[in-house]
Amino acid sequence: GIVLELLKEAMVSKLGDTKGFLIDGYPRELKEAEEFESKIGEPKLVFCLDCSAETMSDRLLMRNQGSQHSDNAETVKEGIKSYYQASKPVIAYYERKAQLCKVN
């Protein structure tokens, strides 16, 4: 609820200054998508960056080499598994509504 309220406030404050909004990483779960639509409105388009679990893992592990992150391969693997479990219903939801654009 807090993230949605922050998004709403930020969007409302810029309504006259923009043609639209690009929201990165939200919604992460189907419940969030439904709440967004009921409180703010339906998105015109939803992008899904479609890449393999191997590609995601490689990129996350590479990112960790140059930063303070302490994620190891097992932690990254579990995170990706959680991501797929949470995002599959969101992706299917927007596919049914013909609002999803998958980007390879």
Domains plus CATH for the chain?
Answer: 2-102 (3.40.50.300)
Q: Taking a C-beta distance cutoff of 8 angstroms, is the pair 6, 40 a contact?
A: no
- Cα-Cα-Cα-Cα dihedral sign, residues 73, 63, 100, 34: positive
pLDDT digits (tens, 9 = 90+) for 16-34: 888 888 998 889 899 999 9
Secondary structure letter of residue 101 according to DSSP = E
Residue 77: exposure state from Cβ atoms within 10 A (0-12, 13-18, ≥19): middle
Q: Which of 32-41, 58-67, 73-82 has the lowest mean pLDDT?
A: 58-67
pLDDT digits (tens, 9 = 90+) for 66-99: 666 666 888 888 989 998 999 999 999 999 999 9
Q: Taking a C-beta distance cutoff of 8 angstroms, is the pair 7, 26 a contact?
A: yes
Where is pLDDT greater, at 53 or 72?
53
Q: Which residue's structure tokens are 């388009």?
A: 45
